[in-house]
Each structure stands twice: as structure tokens, then as C-alpha cells.
Amino acid sequence: MGGPKKYSVEFFGVFDTVTQVIGYAESQSKFDYFSNKIEKRLQDLTKLYDIYNTYEGISNLKTINDNAGKQPVHVDKDIINMLKFSRDKYALTEGRVNIALGAVLSIWHDYREAGISDPKNAKLPPMDKLEDANKHTNINDVVIDETNDTVFLRDPEMSLDVGAIAKGYAVEIVAKEIEAEGFTSGVISVGGNVRVIGHPSDGVRKRWGIGLQDPKAEINGTQNLLDTVFVKDSSVVTSGDYQRYYIVDGKRYNHIIDPDTLMSADKFRAVSVVTADSGLADALSTCLFILDYEDGLKLVQSIPGVEACWVMKDDSIKATDGMKKIMKKLGGATGSEG
């Protein structure tokens, strides 16, 4: 039998999570060629977008943060473009997603890490500490010089945290590059940040079926899916309260911080976004997790080609009409839709 066959591979070590690549190719070696390129490129971008580690011979986001208030840092175009993209998303989300929130987020990060390793003594960050840090989160103090390819943080106390956007942005870069090389039917999932290329080349299916995790699954210990969404040439990105969190006095505090309250966002269990660009999907899922449902819905409806669903605190589901149409359980989709 001719025709492409389905292959898959899993690897660890990029963006601190598991990556899965699935795709149709003419042969195992052709698939390996594509998946190796994807892995290598994701490894490079992981280093560039890392805020915690320094790598020999590389100027990355940590280098920029370390030089805050001191000097501009010469960086790769992949950093310049990602920061410009993120600055646009600050405007789009009216400041809800702010990569200059590092001073606040690093306090939450430290308290969360401490609380996870010593749950009995888990504490919330003091509000005065958060408020002080919040004085150093002005996105206009991120100075991007595109002529010289430098980035300078004008405020010595500020720092960048690109956790809300960089993974999705990186997946988009890699998907576009590998598609141009001839990988025309596949799925790249970096820790659940999913980008699909084309549709499955099995001569039957018109769309890839992507599982949405049930936020309750982690507690029940089941693999139950909330639903399946059917997509082609698109991204599916979820922000959820089960992804990274700690418990203080019996209450869960997740990793997404509302810049207005400086507290962890508490309105939903999860929000998923479907749209072509994985970087946009990543930025919007974080934003929608912070906004009220009504405001989030308005934002989604104002951007062409974006669909979303919200898992409410009582586990009920709300979704845009376009999202329902591609959902298996909620909308009766089968994946055979064109």
C-alpha cells in the first residue's frame, strides 16, 4: 500500500514539559528528519526564552533581566520578534497579559515553590510586597531597538516573564518552518500547547481530533477528556488552574496573576482557545482566564477567527458558537466536517 503512514514520537527537555509530535510521512526516516528538526529548534528557542538559566555563549531573556537598569543587551531576532509580539498582546488584552510583570510573578513563583516543597508552611505573598513590586512593571520601560537588535529594561527593578506567551509563540515559529520543509500533516503538542498542520493524511479524516483535559481528571486520577475539538491548520491552547498551583489554608492558588488584584485569577477551572496562530492562542488563553466571562466573550468576538470555551467553577461549560460546532460532546462534531 502506498500513501503516507502515521508516526509519532515523544521527547522531554523543551519548555520544561513533554512534547509530542504526530504526523504522516512517506517513511520513518522522513518523519524522524522532521521530528529531529522540530526538537532541535524548540531546544534553541527554550534557551533563548529562558528566564531562569544562563547558557554559555547565548544572550537570552535572563541576560536581559540581569542587565535591567544597566545596559542594552544584543539578542537574536527570535527574541526581538517575540517581545514585539508580546507588546502587541499587552495592547490587545488591555494590559491583562503583561510580560513586564516579572517583579510580581517572581514573588508568586518563590512562594509557590516554597509552598510546594513544604506544604504545611505554605504562605501567600504579603500584599505590600506585591504592591511594591508592581511599581516596576511598566511595559514602556522595555526598550526594543530593532536597528541594533538590542533590548534594554530601563527600570533596574523590573524583569520579563514570558510564561504566558513564549511557548505558544515558539510552537508557531517551528510549525511554520517545518511546514515549509514539507511536513504538511501533523500535530505538535508542547505540554498541551497544540498546533496542528493540515489535516490527517489518511484519505479519510478532514480534521485532527484534539482532546481537552478535564480539570477534574487530576483529582479523580482518570484520563477522562472534557471533550474533543476537531481542527485543521489551527492551534488549541488551554490555561487551567490545575496546571501549576499550590495550596494555602485549603485553597488553591494557581500561576496566573490578575494585574488588577495581584492575586491569582479565580474565575474558572480552565479556558481553551482555538485560533490559527499558536502565539495568539497562548496569549488569549491567559487573558481569558483573568477576564470575566462576559468581557472575555466580547474580546473573543472582536477578533476574527478566534473561538473559545470556558470551564466554569461548577464544571459547567460555556463556549462560543463556533467552538461548539467543532466540539464532539458539546456540539456533536465528528471530524468529517470540511
Binding residues for Mg ion, rule: CB under 5 A, are 164, 282, 285-286
Q: Answer yes or no whether residue 286 interacts with ligand AMP by CB under 6 A.
A: yes
Residue 212 interacting entry, from ligand AMP, Mg ion, none, C-beta within 5 to 8 Å by type: none
Which of 213, 255, 274, 299 is the binder for ligand AMP (CB under 6 A)? Answer: 255
Burial degree of 303 (CB within 10 A; 0-12, 13-18, 19+) = exposed
Site string for ligand AMP, 102-131 (x = CB under 6 A): ---x--------------------------
Residue 306 interacting entry, from ligand AMP, Mg ion, none, C-beta within 5 to 8 Å by type: none
Nearer to ligand AMP, 270 or 333 (CB): 270
Yes or no: say if 264 and 306 are a contact pair by the CB < 8 Å rule.
no
Yes or no: say if 280 and 310 are a contact pair by the CB < 8 Å rule.
no
Rounded-to-integer distance, Cα 176 and Cα 173, Å:
5
Interacting span for ligand AMP (CB under 6 A) from 142-150, 215-223, 282-290, 322-330: 282-290
Rounded-to-integer distance, Cα 337 and Cα 234, Å:
15
Nearer to Mg ion, 228 or 286 (CB): 286
Rounded-to-integer distance, Cα 285 and Cα 156, Å:
30
Q: Answer yes or no whether residue 133 interacts with ligand AMP by CB under 6 A.
A: no
Nearer to ligand AMP, 20 or 134 (CB): 134
E strand map for 57-119: 73-74
Burial degree of 18 (CB within 10 A; 0-12, 13-18, 19+) = middle
CB within 8 Å of 10: residues ≥ 6 apart: 18, 19, 20, 21
Rounded-to-integer distance, Cα 76 and Cα 91, Å:
24
CB nearest ligand AMP: which residue?
Answer: 163
Q: Answer yes or no whether residue 259 interacts with ligand AMP by CB under 6 A.
A: yes
Q: Answer yes or no whether residue 282 interacts with ligand AMP by CB under 6 A.
A: yes
Q: Answer yes or no whether residue 239 interacts with ligand AMP by CB under 6 A.
A: yes
Q: Answer yes or no whether residue 278 interacts with ligand AMP by CB under 6 A.
A: no
Interacting span for ligand AMP (CB under 6 A) from 18-26, 208-216, 249-257, 313-321: 249-257
Rounded-to-integer distance, Cα 267 and Cα 297, Å:
14
| Count of residues near ligand AMP by CB under 6 A | 20
CB nearest Mg ion: which residue?
Answer: 286
Give the three-state DSSP class for 35: helix
Q: Answer yes or no whether residue 158 interacts with ligand AMP by CB under 6 A.
A: no
Sign for the CA dihedral angle at 78, 80, 83, 84 comes to: negative
Nearer to Mg ion, 73 or 256 (CB): 256
DSSP label at 338?
A: -
**In whole angstroms, how close is the CB of 192 to Mg ion at the nearest point?**
11
**In whole angstroms, how close is the CB of 240 to ligand AMP at the nearest point?**
8
Residue 274 interacting entry, from ligand AMP, Mg ion, none, C-beta within 5 to 8 Å by type: none
DSSP label at 327?
A: B
**In whole angstroms, how close is the CB of 265 to ligand AMP at the nearest point?**
8
Sign for the CA dihedral angle at 262, 256, 331, 317 comes to: negative
Yes or no: say if 86 and 167 are a contact pair by the CB < 8 Å rule.
no
User: Which residues here bind ligand AMP, judged by CB under 6 A?
Assistant: 96-99, 101, 105, 161, 163-164, 239, 243-244, 255-257, 259, 282, 285-286, 289
